[in-house]
Structure 1
Amino acid sequence: MSKPIPTQPGAGTASPPMPPAARWALASLSLSMLLSALGTSIANVGLPTLAQAFSASFQEVQWIVLAYLLAITTLIVGAGRLGDMLGRRRLLLAGISLFTAASLLCAAAPTLGLLVAARALQGLGAAVMMALTMAFVGETVPKARTGSAMGLLGTMSAVGTALGPSLGGVLIAGLGWRALFFVNLPLGLLALFLAWRHLPPDRAAGAEKTGKAGFDALGTLLLALALAAYALAVTLGRGSFGPLNIALLLAAALGAGLFVFTQSRVASPLLRLAMFRDRVLSASLVMNVLVATVMMATLVVGPFYLSRALGLGTAMVGLVLSVGPVISALSGVLAGRLVDRLGAPAMVAAGLAAMVAGSAALSVLPGLFGLAGYIAAIAVLTPGYQLFQAANNTAVMVDVPPDRRGVVSGLLNLSRNLGLITGASVMGAVFAFASAASDITAASPEAVAGGMRISFAVAAVLATTALALALASRALTARPSVPACPAPPRL
């Protein structure tokens, strides 16, 4: 049956100071998170320049971004599992090294094909970095400061996302497109030095040392193929579903089914299916998908509303769109401290409540107050997202056994990525349908404003669903366990 909810370390009390060694270790993890987020956002602004440089179509240069995202999405769980088995420190050092070396290959690529291949290698390095940064928190930071550490990592992710477009534009204008990737070299070398110098050594692994555990290569391959098929299904065609998209979705469903089948039959599975009986983990993963879908709506719908409905110029649109990431960066550390002081379960609900209010405000306020209403709504939605992320990650990771931290961290990052790529497709389709326009770039301001209202009304429903799930999960886990039917252990 259900288990009692764990006491959140530090809840209701002042958190102890963080030791200097933990601060330096957290600095290395933060820089790793910054680099992986920067790699996602910095290349987008260069696509027009790259299309011209390689005499390629937009669909062809889009693979520069897609290869990176696909590598992260398909490999992040396997990277986390490898970290659990082989040692997180050595694998993180290898991931940072690969990311840095691949950045150099990207900058030197003579052809578009080689650039795409180098971006896939860079994505593999980023998958390792993203999977293991959160997993390392349990080994480097006092338990009572877990929320603050998660908040800082969320802040660095937001900084990387916000910095990418503006930094990329400056680099392209001054030094050319190759500078988009050269900029990672000094940052990557610094992250590598800090990680090598300050991260704790790997603990001697038990089962894998005695040969009782092995890496589930078949399960990893099936999961990667299923995730790749799904990611391609919802990204190819730019929102229009055709036979290829349907075939990819069917392949993804088949791959997922085969993956589940194999996981119940191998001696050392990539994912133990029993772990999903843990209500905290299962609810957190579903909420992560829903929340990421809501946040993607601001990136999909926001630019069209600001330019088409409000008539803002390109520079002003970029400035307004940067408000959300800036607020997110500023609120991340504070969100983590609130989690440490008030407890993760309460802050998950508070963050989701703020997201419900922010989504509803985005549906209503811009129509009443224009740009001021849009910014005011974003100022409610974004801190709620940061609070949810810090609390949700803390609630999951704080009690995970050391030998499963990598794979669980990978699952958290995977659920977020799946929400983002799903949101790009689903919320884009909702916006186009609600605007009643075959070509959204030529839709009237009134049609775009109507699409904005309906899209964020749908986002508010998704956020409300996540909030209801959080409250239901909290109520169920708060019930005392029945001795005759104990709860499954946290895995």
Structure 2
Amino acid sequence: MDRIARPWPALWALVMGFFMILVDTTIVTIANPAILRDLDADLTAVIWVTSAYLLAYAVPLLITGRLGDRFGPKRVYLVGLVVFTLASLWCGVSGDIGMLIAARAVQGLGAALMTPQTMAVIARVFPPNRRGAAMGLWGAVAGVAMLVGPILGGVLVDALGWQWVFLVNVPFGIAAFLLAWRFVPRLETHAHRFDWLGVVLSAVGMFLVVFGIQEGQTFGWGTIVGPITVWGLIIAGILTLAAFVAWQAVNRVEPLLPLSLFRDRNFALSNVAITFVGLGLVAMPLPLAFYFQVARGLTPTEGALMLVPMAVVSGVLAPFVGRLGDRVDPKWIAFAGLATVALALGWYILLMTPDVALWLLLPPSALLGLGMSGVFAPLASTATRNLPPARAGAGSGVYTMTRQIGSVLGSAAIAALMTARLAAELPGFDAEAVRRADGGSAAGLPPLLAEGFTASMSQSLWLAVAAFGLCAVAVLFFAKPQVTVEWRAEQASGPLPDTDRLPARSLPAP
């Protein structure tokens, strides 16, 4: 039995770390133009600051979810929090773009250790009929992070420099560690074997696909990179990932990716949907940040303030949407939210011109927040609702991994798309031109350049529109959620005491 009498303090302690991870992502988006100028980097290298983090975040998630099952989510979460905090310090003292990318990769590893434990604890200590409220808090944290991250990032970049978007994590990480140590209980552990061949195949495959997509425009899609072309790298990555899936199907001991989980229709569809969400969330803010700061000449703080309506509306509504998910079929909430997000992004595309009044861009931001409030909670609760408690860690790891895979692919794809559209709209326009257009100058780019640059950024937003639109279609096929036999037995057995000293018991592997 994993259910505890007072699960909310544990959840609050865990989402503090989750909040830090999300804030870090949104802070870095706002800081990208400043990093590009200060470290004398090009656009592709700066986007690798995000891609390296997301890649190192995504690849280990299958095994870090299992680590939580094997050693307890509390222990693994605390280790990840220490790694994330120390890597943030490393990011803040990095003096060149290569060191920053390496530090971000280590930071991603820390995030990979932390994130599955948050979802696993929700799935193990909250029964399905109360999980919507817990996921509502989870969604509200995401909304508040979208508010705090850009604003805090803008203020820090303007006042102290981009380094402080990472250094701010250090005191926050220490506080999160102390709270988790105090309030998160030890839960049952389950013996697992680890599929190291699966880890290698998934890591190599993902890296080849992401490198090929993101660097294709830099090298030229037909150019030789070593002995093969860029397209050859992508195809090799896809084949490696296919080999990974095939290995998971024949591995009878304990596969890294339990394909049996996908027999549950809602779990399978939720993973498809969250992959598109991850792609869309990464593809959405980068063109907007460059539009506001480069084309329009806003400071990082002013650019961040343009997104405040989105974050305020999402943060306020997410808890209510989560509770509604316990009473209404969550697929209709998710569909409405995702369709609204796609509509809001289309509205942005129609309005984005070099001279549109900035206040006209605030209503689509608010509509975007309305849609985002209905995305995270219903998808996450649908994914985990039918899973038995003993498989919560594996299921949470898979779900989080697919979201991050979408994010990694979104980061690579938006880099390639932005670079391609800039080459088409402004031939010869390069990172040096961005550096000359010092973000924060009232004029921004000269009119002739601003028109082409704005067109490139608005066209790039279509990637996010497509991602959220496909996700909305996927959720329409959700089946009505059911309560599993294991959870009925769990509900009948009564709660466990809320204590940090629960004995850890080893159970047979599922």
1:341 and 1:371 map into 2 onto residues whose CA distance is 39
Classify the secondary structure of the residue corresponding to 1:42: helix
Residues 249 and 162 (structure 1), Cα distance of their counterparts in 2 relative to 1, 3 Å cut: farther
Deviation at 1:75, TM superposition (A): 1.5
- Over residues 255-275 of structure 1, what are the superposed CA-to-partner deviations in whole Å (9 max), with x where a residue is unaligned? 202211211222110012232
2:78 and 2:255 map into 1 onto residues whose CA distance is 25
**One-letter amino acid of the structure 2 residue matched with residue 222 of structure 1:** L
Aligned to 1:472: 477
Aligned to 1:199: 184
Aligned to 2:205: 226
Aligned to 2:275: 289
- Over residues 282-311 of structure 1, what are the superposed CA-to-partner deviations in whole Å (9 max), with x where a residue is unaligned? 2112222223334444324434555788x4
Contact 1:304/1:448 (CA < 8 Å) preserved in 2?
no
Structure 1 stretch displaced more, 371-380 or 429-438:
429-438
Contact 1:279/1:473 (CA < 8 Å) preserved in 2?
yes
Match of 1:337 among 301, 305, 323: 323
Aligned to 2:440: none
Deviation at 1:431, TM superposition (A): 6.6
Deviation at 1:155, TM superposition (A): 2.8
2:220 and 2:425 map into 1 onto residues whose CA distance is 16
Deviation at 1:313, TM superposition (A): 3.3
Contact 2:62/2:394 (CA < 8 Å) preserved in 1?
yes
| Structure 2 unaligned residues grouped into runs of 5+ | 435-444, 483-509
1:51 and 1:260 map into 2 onto residues whose CA distance is 38
Aligned to 2:439: none
1:44 and 1:175 map into 2 onto residues whose CA distance is 17
Contact 1:347/1:391 (CA < 8 Å) preserved in 2?
yes
Deviation at 1:216, TM superposition (A): 0.7
Structure 1 stretch displaced more, 40-49 or 461-470:
40-49
The answer to whether the aligner puts 1:40 opposite 2:25 as a matched pair is yes
Match of 2:339 among 353, 373, 376: 353
Contact 1:73/1:228 (CA < 8 Å) preserved in 2?
no
Classify the secondary structure of the residue corresponding to 1:472: coil
**One-letter amino acid of the structure 2 residue matched with residue 22 of structure 1:** P
Deviation at 1:78, TM superposition (A): 1.8
Aligned to 1:22: 7
Residues 434 and 284 (structure 1), Cα distance of their counterparts in 2 relative to 1, 3 Å cut: same
Aligned to 1:481: none
Contact 1:90/1:202 (CA < 8 Å) preserved in 2?
no
Contact 1:159/1:326 (CA < 8 Å) preserved in 2?
yes
Contact 2:27/2:153 (CA < 8 Å) preserved in 1?
yes
Residues 305 and 116 (structure 1), Cα distance of their counterparts in 2 relative to 1, 3 Å cut: closer
Contact 1:81/1:407 (CA < 8 Å) preserved in 2?
yes
Classify the secondary structure of the residue corresponding to 2:326: helix
Alignment of 1:41-60 (within 5 A): 41-43=26-28
The answer to whether the aligner puts 1:216 opposite 2:203 as a matched pair is no
**One-letter amino acid of the structure 1 residue matched with residue 343 of structure 2:** A
Match of 2:67 among 57, 82, 90: 82
Contact 1:323/1:375 (CA < 8 Å) preserved in 2?
yes
- Over residues 429-469 of structure 1, what are the superposed CA-to-partner deviations in whole Å (9 max), with x where a residue is unaligned? 66777785144778666666766776666655544433332
Deviation at 1:318, TM superposition (A): 3.4
Aligned to 1:437: 425
Contact 1:362/1:373 (CA < 8 Å) preserved in 2?
no
Match of 1:420 among 386, 398, 407: 407
- Over residues 199-235 of structure 1, what are the superposed CA-to-partner deviations in whole Å (9 max), with x where a residue is unaligned? 1212142xx2xxxx41111111211221222222333
Match of 2:382 among 391, 395, 418: 395
Match of 2:137 among 152, 169, 178: 152
Classify the secondary structure of the residue corresponding to 2:327: helix
Contact 1:98/1:121 (CA < 8 Å) preserved in 2?
yes
- Over residues 116-147 of structure 1, what are the superposed CA-to-partner deviations in whole Å (9 max), with x where a residue is unaligned? 44433222111111121111112333533322
**One-letter amino acid of the structure 1 residue matched with residue 369 of structure 2:** T
TM-score by length of 2: 0.76
Residues 284 and 48 (structure 1), Cα distance of their counterparts in 2 relative to 1, 3 Å cut: closer
Contact 1:301/1:428 (CA < 8 Å) preserved in 2?
no
**One-letter amino acid of the structure 2 residue matched with residue 355 of structure 1:** V
1:431 and 1:204 map into 2 onto residues whose CA distance is 46
Deviation at 1:347, TM superposition (A): 1.6
Contact 1:347/1:387 (CA < 8 Å) preserved in 2?
yes
2:348 and 2:208 map into 1 onto residues whose CA distance is 33
Deviation at 1:372, TM superposition (A): 5.0
Contact 1:365/1:377 (CA < 8 Å) preserved in 2?
no
**One-letter amino acid of the structure 2 residue matched with residue 96 of structure 1:** L
Aligned to 2:494: none
Contact 1:294/1:423 (CA < 8 Å) preserved in 2?
yes
Match of 2:257 among 265, 271, 293: 271
Structure 1 stretch displaced more, 422-431 or 377-386:
422-431
Contact 2:214/2:415 (CA < 8 Å) preserved in 1?
no
Match of 1:124 among 109, 117, 124: 109
1:230 and 1:126 map into 2 onto residues whose CA distance is 22
Contact 2:283/2:411 (CA < 8 Å) preserved in 1?
yes
Residues 144 and 326 (structure 1), Cα distance of their counterparts in 2 relative to 1, 3 Å cut: same
Contact 1:233/1:248 (CA < 8 Å) preserved in 2?
yes
Alignment of 1:86-105 (within 5 A): 86-105=71-90
2:4 and 2:356 map into 1 onto residues whose CA distance is 48
| Structure 1 unaligned residues grouped into runs of 5+ | 1-17, 479-490
